Amino acid sequence: MSENRYLTFALGKGRLASKTMELFEKIGITCEEMKDKDSRRLIFVNEELKLKFFLAKGPDVPTYVEYGAADIGVVGKDTILEENRRVYEVLDLGYGKCRMCVCGPKSAEELLKHHEMIRVASKYPRIAKDYFYNKKHQTVDIIKLNGSVELAPIVQLADVIVDIVETGSTLRENGLEVLEEICPLSARMIVNQVSMQMEPERIKRLITKLKENL
């Protein structure tokens, strides 16, 4: 396909998008319009390079990429695992590093060890289910929450949580700790499967340049 076609990027809103634009600047991809912090605009264009960028909620990024509304997405590995969309994951961008962990009060350690039927709260029910059912072969009751998940063991909604740990300070300040580590996480680049076939050279060139600058 010709370079006249716009290549569209879906970026997870917030810190990840800023980090991504910093990296893109290093390889000459800029978007001045995006730098206005007060702007409420969601879509930005670089006419010269025939690029479009839009900002979406993190969990929606793999959806836009699977359906081809965006050719390329940048999102956390946690979201990729949880959304389980048909996209190619092509590059670990190295930033946004953190860990997916089972956390709780120290007393919950025994419950995990003895494979008790426990309650697990998480914003990531698919990841929690895969870990407990497929890896640990432990039957658990999974409760989906939408944030501030650390509350759940404190108010006895759940025995443990499956959540992201970055610095560990949210856990510490709430008397919780990491009990088991599920997997490391970081920002990843994902690509629509058809776009990859239609424009392999353009996309591969981009990946190579990014790799050189990580």
CA distances from 103 to 31, 46, 113, 151, 175 (A): 40, 43, 13, 11, 10
- Taking the least distance from each CB to ligand PRP, the nearer of 50 and 126 is 126
- Taking the least distance from each CB to ligand PRP, the nearer of 127 and 206 is 127
- Taking the least distance from each CB to ligand PRP, the nearer of 56 and 72 is 56
CB atoms within 10 A of CB 125: 16
Quote the least distance from Cβ 173 to ligand PRP, whole Å: 8
- Taking the least distance from each CB to ligand PRP, the nearer of 77 and 123 is 123
Quote the least distance from Cβ 121 to ligand PRP, whole Å: 11
Q: 200-208: long-range contacts (C-beta < 8 A, 24 or more apart)? A: 202/3, 202/7, 203/7, 203/71, 203/72, 203/90, 206/7, 206/27, 206/72, 207/90, 207/91
- Taking the least distance from each CB to ligand PRP, the nearer of 79 and 195 is 79
- Taking the least distance from each CB to ligand PRP, the nearer of 150 and 199 is 150
Candidates 66, 65, 47, 78; CA nearest to 9 is 65
Beta carbons of 162 and 131 less than 8 angstroms apart: yes
Tell me which residues touch ligand PRP (CB under 6 A).
123, 147-150, 163-170
- Which two three-digit tokens encode residue 89? 């994951």
